[in-house]
Copies of this chain bind each other. A is one copy, B any other.
Amino acid sequence: MKISLAQINYHIGNFERNISKIIDGIKKGEMDGSDIVVFSELAVSGYPPRDFLEFSDFVNQCQDAVNTIAKKCTKVAAIVGLPTYNNNAKGKPLYNSAVFLYNGKILSITNKTLLPNYDIFDEYRYFEPNNVFKVINHKGKKIALTICEDLWNVQDNPLYSVNPMDELIDQNPDFMINIAASPYNYHQTKIRKEVLRKNAQKYDLPLFYVNHVGAQTELLFDGGSLVINSMGETIDELLYFEEDFRTFDLKDVLSHKNVEYTENERIEIADIHDALVMGIRNYFHKLGFTKAILGLSGGIDSALTAALAAEALGSGNVYNVLLPSKYSSDHSISDSIKLCENLNMPYDIIKIEDAVSAFESTLDPFFRGLPSDIAEENIQARSRGVILMALSNKFGYILLNTSNKSEAAVGYGTLYGDMNGGLSVIGDVYKTQAYELSRYINRDKEIIPENIITKAPSAELRPDQKDSDSLPDYDILDEILYQYIENRKGPKEIVKMGFGKPLVDRILKLVNTNEYKRYQTPPMLRISTKAFGMGRRMPIVAKYLG
C-alpha cells in the first residue's frame, strides 16, 4: 500500500482555490500509484476558520466542496479535513472531521476527540468532542485515523481524560494517520516530533502525519509533515515553510527501511527567519497585494523588517520612507540609505518638520506654554504615521509595522504613530532576538549595515534620547518579559530568579497598564509560545500588577 502526504498552503474560505489544490494532490497521488492521499485538518476551509463556522452558509460550502472532491476519488482514496454537522439533539452544532473518500463518495467520517482550547486555539467554541472510535478499512489494511490534538494527550498530567488511540488500538490497526494544523513556534518543531515519536512507540505503529503549511494572518504553519516508524524513528520529513508532496510505500515503513533520509537538526534562528518571510509573503499574496511601505528610522527594527520584507516580496516591492525630524541623527539617514542600496530597494526622504510645526502652532494656544513632553514626542510619531498611511492609501501599499515584542510589551511606542500597520512583522520578536536575526541575515555579507546593529537604540523623539534612559538593558528586560509572558511567572517567582524587586514590579506594571495599546495593534506574526494577540487574552480595565 502506498500513502501520499499532501502538505498544502490553504486559504481560509477560498473554496475554489482549496478544492483545486486538493484535486491536484489527488492527481499527483494517482500518478504516484498511491492508495491514499492524506490532506491536513480542516483542509477544505483552511485553518482556523474561526467564527465563519457559525455560518451555516460557510459550513454548507465545505460540504459542497468535499462532495466535489469525492467525485475525483475513484482510483485513489483521500482523507480530507472539514467541519461537519453534529446531528445529535445534544451538544455543539459541529464536529471537526476527517472524511474518507473513495469510489467517488464519502465512505466514512472520523471526528476529532480532543479539542484544544488554549493559547490561540478555540476549538471547543465550535466543536462537539467525538466519542465513537472506529478504524478505517482500506484494501485490507486498518487505519487508525486521528486529528491533530488527538495524539497530544501523552504528557504526565494529561489535559484530557480520554486518549483516542487507547480506544483505536483495540481494533488492531496497521498504522496511524494524523491530520494536523499545528502552528509553528520556535519550540514547537522539536516538541511536535517528540510527541509523535512517543505515540509511534507507545502504540507500536507507524505514523503518517500531515501538517498545514503557510501563514493564516498571524499564525505560521511550518509544515514539516512526518513519517515515523513504529520504533519512533523518522522515515522522512517534508519541507518546512513550503508546500510539499511525497508518496511512501507502507512496506518500507513497516520494515523500517529508511531509504535516503538523514535527520537534520533545525536551526532556530533560520526557522524564525523563514517563518517571518513566509508570514509576510502569504499575508500580502492572500490579500491580493504585492507592495509594502514602511518607515525606516535608522534603527535595527525597521531595518530588519525591511530586509525580511525584501526577501518575502522582492526588493522592488518594498518602498522605504525615511522620515527625519530635527532630532534625527545623520547616521539615521545614511545607515538607512545604505540598507536600501544594499538591497536595491526604492526609498524616499520625506521631512516631517512642516507637519509637526503646523500641529505645534495649531495647538500652541491650547498648550499654554507648558513644557514639551510626551505629547510633542507623539506628534512626531503620528505625523510619520499620517504620511505613511497617505502613501499607502494613494498607491495601494500595505504599511508594515516595525515594533518589536520588547517595546510592544512595555508600551514603548506611539499608538496611531509607529504602532500603525496592516501587519506587525517582528511584534513577537524580542529586541535581543532582533539582533540575532539581523546577524543571521548578514551571515554571508553585510545587508543590514553594521552600524545599525551596533549603535545604541534610540527613538530619537527628543535630543540625545536613548532607549536605555527609560528602559533597562534589553538583555535584562527581555529575560523578565519572557518569564512573565511566555512562562507566566508572577512577580515573586521572577524576583527569586535574581532580578531586583523594584525593576520587576516596574516592568510587570508597564506590561499590564499598556494592555490598552496592544488591543489596537495590528496582527503580529507569531513565532513564540505566547504572542500578543488572540493567544494572550488580558483584561484592559484591571488592577492586577497594574
> Which residues on A are within 8 Å of B, measured CB to CB?
11-15, 17, 46, 48-52, 54-58, 60-61, 89-92, 117-118, 122, 124-125, 157-161, 215-217, 282-283, 286-287, 348, 350-352, 354-355, 357-359, 361-363, 366-367, 370, 373-376, 378-379, 382-383, 385-387, 389-391, 393-394, 415-416, 420, 422, 488-493, 516, 519-523, 534, 536-546
Contact = CB atoms under 8 A, between A and B. Distances in A.
A158 B90 contact: yes
A367 B383 contact: no
B49 A539 contact: yes
A90 B55 CA distance: 34
A539 B161 contact: no
Contacts of A282: 541
Please give the count of copies of this chain that the complex contains: 2
Contact of A539 (B50, B363, B370, B378): B50
Nearest to A534: B537
A327 to B, nearest CB: 17
A387 B363 contact: yes
Given A125-B118, A493-B57, A362 B373 contact: no
A420 B416 CA distance: 8
A22 to B, nearest CB: 15
A72 to B, nearest CB: 22
30 contacts: A12-B539, A12-B541, A12-B543, A17-B543, A49-B539, A49-B544, A50-B539, A55-B490, A57-B492, A57-B493, A91-B158, A91-B160, A118-B125, A124-B124, A217-B540, A286-B543, A348-B366, A355-B355, A359-B383, A359-B387, A374-B393, A378-B389, A378-B393, A382-B386, A382-B389, A382-B390, A382-B416, A383-B386, A422-B516, A534-B537
Contacts of A91: 158-161
Contacts of A217: 539-541
A65 to B, nearest CB: 12
A133 to B, nearest CB: 18
Contacts of A52: 538-539, 542, 544
A94 to B, nearest CB: 12
CB-CB nearest 6 A-B residue pairs: A57-B490, A13-B544, A14-B543, A358-B358, A375-B393, A12-B542
A365 to B, nearest CB: 9
Nearest to A378: B393
Given A217-B541, A357-B358, 7 more contacts: A12-B541, A13-B544, A51-B536, A58-B544, A367-B394, A378-B390, A520-B521
Quick one: which of A48, A55, A89 has the most chain B CB within 10 A? A55
